[in-house]
């Protein structure tokens, strides 16, 4: 099925965006084929810098080591806006079979290659219409979203303060949503992500004499089981929380009881009060179980904040999307995944939203972070048009 057949019921982008669509898709495929992991995005960075300089943007420079920032300066007075796009890939062996599949153990399995293509198309469109643009638009091509830390570093290195940003915007391609649909949330769209580590310390010994030991494997098994009650018994059923232990490590041989076991996992929440109750509940359970078995424990954790949108900015996005795509294609959602766009949203009001990119009816809908993940490239020009309209509405400009 061709792109035109897939999108015949969807509106077309303006001619200036449509003219850039081929370049945008080619760029996406190039980045996909040469995917780079967090903090290693050197080729990606060089490609973005080259594109931005060729387009004539001001202040093109590296940021946060492997990221890039640049600015479009409008000829008219207006607000200072920021558009963010993440650029890194995941440590996966790609299994899509695409002709432009990644050549290395790194894969764009979350749509970041599409985010870069959309943002660069937006940058080119805005720069070519700088004479009618009101205010400024800074671009933040952010590294290390999957690893976490890139957004914080970009904020620390001044992307929000030179000039002072009034509003921030960005999108995430969402392969589970139909092509051309937009999902928003006037409050929290991505959850806070808390990474935790638990170490249970016992007393090792011979597996044939467990009575002479304090077996941390048995204790850990009870801890894992007991922790499953935290969400069901400490969190209001009307609220959301996820607690998952994804890793357990301990022991070297089947006939040796080890001294300690390490386990790690994640908590996802949308409310700070809920997070506090979950973490307190976890500590109480771990303390109680280990005490009953005469073991000791360590429990440490760190949290990436939730992506909390500004209601006014989100209403702007929803209104623009409804006017362009049709109100029937605009909905509301929240996602238990996390995203360090939260740092930008904590520094200035704004809105982060999801853009549908599902392949229609051909069985290629795989979840994000899956080795067969892909999205319909028709969402790239649609996303660039939508982004352009958001900048127009937020700044009061007219872009050709």
Q: Tens digit of pLDDT for each residue in 241-277? A: 999 999 999 999 999 999 999 999 999 999 999 999 9
Q: In whole numbers, what is the pLDDT of the chain averaged over residues?
A: 96
Q: At the top level of CATH, which class does the domain 192-304 belong to?
A: alpha beta
Which superfamily is assigned to 3-190+307-395 in CATH?
Zn peptidases (3.40.630.10)
Q: Which residue has the higher pLDDT, 268 or 3?
A: 268
Give the per-residue pLDDT at 231: 95
Cβ atoms of 317 and 189 within 8 Å: the answer is: no
Other beta carbons within 10 angstroms of residue 280's beta carbon come to 12
Give the per-residue pLDDT at 2: 40
User: Region 352-371: what's the mean pLDDT?
Assistant: 89
Split at pLDDT 50, 70, 90, the class of 9 is confident
| Structure token pair of residue 330 | 């605009």
**Residues sharing a CB contact under 8 Å with residue 64, sequence separation 6 or more, in sequence order:** 142, 143, 144, 150, 153, 154, 157
How many residues are given for the chain?
400
Split at pLDDT 50, 70, 90, the class of 172 is very high
Name the residue ranges covered by the structural domains of the chain.
Answer: 3-190+307-395, 192-304
| pLDDT tens digits, 35-81 | 999 999 999 999 999 999 999 999 999 999 999 999 999 999 999 99
Q: Which residues are catalytic?
A: 88, 145
Split at pLDDT 50, 70, 90, the class of 357 is very high
User: Region 354-370: what's the mean pLDDT?
Assistant: 88
pLDDT exceeding 70 applies to what percent of the chain?
Answer: 98
Residue with tokens 């660039």: 384
Give the per-residue pLDDT at 61: 98
Give the per-residue pLDDT at 1: 34
To 10 degrees, the CA torsion angle through 356, 360, 365, 369? -40
Three-class DSSP category at 201: strand
Question: CA 293, CA 286: separation in Å to the nearest integer?
Answer: 11
Give the per-residue pLDDT at 153: 97
User: Region 284-292: what's the mean pLDDT?
Assistant: 98
Give the per-residue pLDDT at 8: 55
**Residues sharing a CB contact under 8 Å with residue 213, sequence separation 6 or more, in sequence order:** 202, 203, 204, 205, 206, 257
Peptide bond between residue 261 and the one before it cis (omega within 30 degrees of 0): no
User: Region 159-186: what's the mean pLDDT?
Assistant: 97
Asked whether residue 5 carries a pLDDT value surpassing 70, the answer given is: no
Question: CA 156, CA 12: separation in Å to the nearest integer?
Answer: 39
| Structure token pair of residue 303 | 């949290």
Give the per-residue pLDDT at 49: 98
Split at pLDDT 50, 70, 90, the class of 363 is low
Give the per-residue pLDDT at 3: 42
| pLDDT tens digits, 139-157 | 999 999 998 789 999 999 9
Residue with tokens 């570093």: 153
Split at pLDDT 50, 70, 90, the class of 238 is confident
């Amino acid at each position: 099925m061709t792109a035109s057949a897939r999108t015949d019921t969807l509106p077309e982008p303006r001619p200036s965006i449509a003219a850039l669509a081929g370049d945008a898709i080619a760029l996406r495929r190039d980045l996909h084929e040469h995917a780079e992991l967090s903090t290693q995005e050197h080729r990606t960075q060089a490609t973005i810098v080259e594109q931005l300089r060729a387009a004539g943007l001001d202040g093109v420079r590296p940021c946060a080591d492997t990221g890039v920032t640049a600015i479009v300066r409008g000829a008219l007075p207006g607000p200072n806006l920021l558009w963010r796009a993440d650029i890194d890939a995941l440590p996966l062996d790609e299994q899509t079979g695409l002709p432009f599949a990644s050549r290395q153990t790194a894969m764009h399995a979350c749509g970041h290659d599409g985010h870069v293509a959309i943002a660069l198309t937006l940058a080119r469109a805005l720069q070519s219409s700088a004479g009618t643009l009101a205010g400024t638009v800074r671009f933040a091509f952010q590294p290390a979203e999957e690893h976490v830390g890139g957004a914080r570093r970009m904020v620390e290195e001044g992307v929000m303060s030179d000039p002072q940003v009034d509003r921030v915007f960005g999108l995430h391609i969402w392969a589970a949503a139909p092509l051309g649909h937009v999902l928003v949330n006037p409050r929290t769209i991505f959850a806070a992500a808390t990474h935790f580590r638990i170490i249970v310390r016992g007393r090792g010994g011979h597996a044939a004499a467990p009575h002479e030991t304090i077996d941390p494997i048995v204790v850990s098994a009870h801890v894992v089981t007991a922790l499953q009650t935290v969400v069901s018994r400490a969190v209001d059923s009307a609220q959301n929380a996820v607690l998952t232990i994804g890793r357990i490590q301990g022991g070297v041989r089947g006939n040796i009881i080890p001294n300690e076991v390490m386990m790690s996992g994640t908590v996802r929440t949308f409310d700070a009060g809920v997070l506090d109750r979950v973490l307190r509940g976890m500590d109480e359970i771990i303390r109680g179980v280990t005490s009953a078995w005469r073991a000791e424990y360590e429990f440490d954790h760190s949290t990436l904040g939730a992506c909390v949108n500004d209601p006014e900015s989100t209403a702007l996005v929803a209104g623009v999307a409804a006017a362009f795509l049709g109100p029937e294609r605009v909905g509301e959602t929240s996602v238990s995944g996390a995203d360090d766009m939260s740092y930008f949203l904590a520094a200035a009001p704004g809105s982060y939203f999801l853009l549908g990119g599902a392949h229609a009816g051909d069985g290629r809908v795989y979840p994000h972070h899956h080795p067969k993940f892909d999205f319909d490239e028709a969402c790239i020009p649609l996303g660039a048009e939508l982004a352009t309209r958001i900048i127009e509405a937020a700044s009061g400009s007219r872009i050709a």
